[in-house]
Structure 1
């Protein structure tokens, strides 16, 4: 499992003023990134990385968020940095070494002298030492502390699995909405047992919130969400366009350890389309990952429930509005995840198989999902065509798939079915700026998008000075 760590960056004297100037400008242009070429190192690009920067010989002077970038030449890679924090005072290397347990001193001293990646276990000891030397770092580095690691280890396997799938549903919703995922890395365990992953994010609001309720009164199915026992909500904003927002609600009726998985319902407010993704964990079998089920078990009952809902959606009047056009109006998808591991320090998606419900039915009916002994099995080898993460995100982000506008009015029935199944519902609503004079009185009426203007890209003059440092 990829673990969070820190990179010690020893900045050459000739580069110090340049990087500091970029770090200062970064405060005024969210998304702009200062970068420095370093020797290649092994670290996941979606895994949390702290940069301990030395702008003064023999001392740590700044802390930043880091990410491994693209190649910067033979044997080199870009180290991208954002959110620089200048320390109250430079922290001498030797002071840091003396504060970590003896077994970590030699490896830490080697990294401090030459620069590079600190081993994960040594990193947690370094975090404790840094917060003792500089109290201003306590809140920033708390999510990397040994105390947090111990709290996570106290979760049962069932609880970790449920948190992992809930986190996956949130990351997928952010990706579909085109939102950054950095806030995922700020998760920490809450006192007691949380009911959902969302509760561990600093800005999450638990239970009912007056503003959330007001904002969601026009969203189909929201009344069904309010019926849940546990509700946590959070609104994410695109830092490059504050008008673009994603509101996420996680709702469930059971304690964390009793939940039976998770579903994501993604609702595009602009096109009045929703898509539902149900997650299934595959198990390792030899060199392959497989999902097995038996006729009449929980999985087949969930498929029957989807079929019943589809039958009701089919009774809706046809939608002839251009905004209601879909390549497929079946909103149900299955994602079979090859490895479900709870790692709050990784903001990436699970590898796996996305299957439209209709394709799964076709494969099953044609006997493609039968194992050697006649059992039912889904694997990477027997499904043939499948959707990757990027392909699925592209289809959903632009509402090429999902319910038509009249069908979306039936969303409440889908939400209730998910909650009654014991699964956690992640309900994500992508908001886009709507003109003041847009007609919004009928939530099921086709939306006139002809007058909408989008400014997703920054103005050229805003970024002119950053063309050589913006993260690829």
Structure 2
């Protein structure tokens, strides 16, 4: 189904500031409306200004009529009661300008009569929908008169129809892990998950996940013009990596209106068939601390990982990271343990997961992995060692891990940006796909903790999402 939600100008005004931040809107459906999970699952928010309002001018709606002002993806159909339903529209994007439905220049006038009747029926109440053939006619009419909407529709459909990864293919496995690492970075930093999830396969199997990122359609032209002003005239910290001949590097930036900024860097240096797996590295610049997560895939049938010499060698190398840490000297430098490296033993369900869904798995600190390897609980029937859910009862799940990182309870102490850069390149050259997040802000440790513990979406700052241009080589 393709949904239409009709609102008054006052309702749009009351909600719009929240939509710009939360990217989410839940709307009740009329009782008895078919909620079959079919069709595009796109949603169009229509502002009905036929009854003139003092607020119409704010939205550029100086004329009477109905206008498409927002569009989004229906990610969930919720059960409210025995018969009542609602839809959750997420993510949402505001149209670059209101799209008129009525009048000689309106979209409805260009639709065949049958499809126009279907759209009118969907518009007759507070919420309605229509089928695929009407959607195809509406899409053709929209893009004929408003071609700028193509990138909005493509971006939203990519969220609704994530690609199915082939777990037997080395490139798909690598992209699947890097996608999970990218989504983990948005969770530990509280940036929108949607910014890094609309994706299509890159042209080359050896390219990083970010090479296939479908860009956020909002304000692309403004970003192209003002990007350097937003960066204070400075290139991204890892911009020079994009000019190297020995690595492939892609960068995407998330920046909110308070100045808090996440530079996401995706780099590799080897052909995909010879890669060792994926590393996620997150560096919090205000506290000079980073954590590393190395991905390991659980065997799909029994959800087990059989320990081999390669894993043991990799654990030895990861333990050297602890040598980069200093002794805590201030309260915010205290950590629950000296562990800065974690193993994520992950498994993926068959088929396409949600575009923002994390892989299920266990986060195990390196020191705890060592303890498990000395404990009979991981001893297999033939004498080998096995990691699994049943054998590692004290693992962390994704939400627990993210909370510890957000609060600064895990990670290195006193590590420099230079050490981070050297370490990130080293990991790529050793054969790993690296997804690196570099966060900067003016937050104090206390302000960071207050933001992390706040569950309210109100008063959250607006976020810009963009791929910065490569600077000119000196």
1:65 aligned residue: 72
Number of residue-to-residue matches in the alignment: 405
Matches within 5 A, 1:205-220: 214-216=235-237
Whole-angstrom distance in 2 between the partners of 1:318 and 1:345: 41
1:102-155 CA distance string (max 9 Å, x none): xxxx9x99999997788xxx86x7765443221133222224779x98998899
Whole-angstrom distance in 2 between the partners of 1:293 and 1:152: 28
Question: Which of these residues, 275, 284, 287, is aligned with residue 268 of structure 1?
Answer: 284
TM-aligned CA deviation for residue 350 of structure 1: 1.1
Question: Which of these residues, 342, 357, 360, is aligned with residue 348 of structure 1?
Answer: 357
1:280 aligned residue: 296
Matches within 5 A, 1:50-449: 50-52=42-44, 64-66=71-73, 67-68=75-76, 72-74=80-82, 75-80=84-89, 82-85=92-95, 86-89=98-101, 129-135=137-143, 136=146, 137-143=149-155, 157-193=169-205, 195-202=207-214, 214-216=235-237, 229-238=247-256, 241-285=257-301, 288-294=302-308, 296=309, 298-310=310-322, 312-313=323-324, 317-339=326-348, 343=352, 346-406=355-415, 410-412=419-421, 414-433=423-442, 449=444
Contact 1:335 1:355 in 2 (8 A): yes
Contact 2:406 2:449 in 1 (8 A): no
- Over 3 Å counting, the alpha-carbon distance change for 1:317 and 1:330 in structure 2 is same
- Over 3 Å counting, the alpha-carbon distance change for 1:404 and 1:303 in structure 2 is same
Contact 2:291 2:340 in 1 (8 A): yes
- 72-81 or 179-188, larger mean C-alpha shift: 72-81
Where 2:175 maps in the other structure, the secondary structure is: helix
TM-aligned CA deviation for residue 406 of structure 1: 4.9
Where 1:8 maps in the other structure, the secondary structure is: strand
TM-aligned CA deviation for residue 259 of structure 1: 3.2
1:73-127 CA distance string (max 9 Å, x none): 554335346434444436569958989xxxxxx9x99999997788xxx86x776
Whole-angstrom distance in 1 between the partners of 2:304 and 2:167: 25
Whole-angstrom distance in 1 between the partners of 2:395 and 2:214: 36
TM-aligned CA deviation for residue 274 of structure 1: 0.5
Whole-angstrom distance in 1 between the partners of 2:76 and 2:25: 12
TM-aligned CA deviation for residue 185 of structure 1: 3.6
TM-score (norm. length: structure 2):
0.69
TM-aligned CA deviation for residue 162 of structure 1: 1.0
Contact 2:262 2:439 in 1 (8 A): yes
Whole-angstrom distance in 1 between the partners of 2:166 and 2:316: 36
- Over 3 Å counting, the alpha-carbon distance change for 1:184 and 1:93 in structure 2 is farther
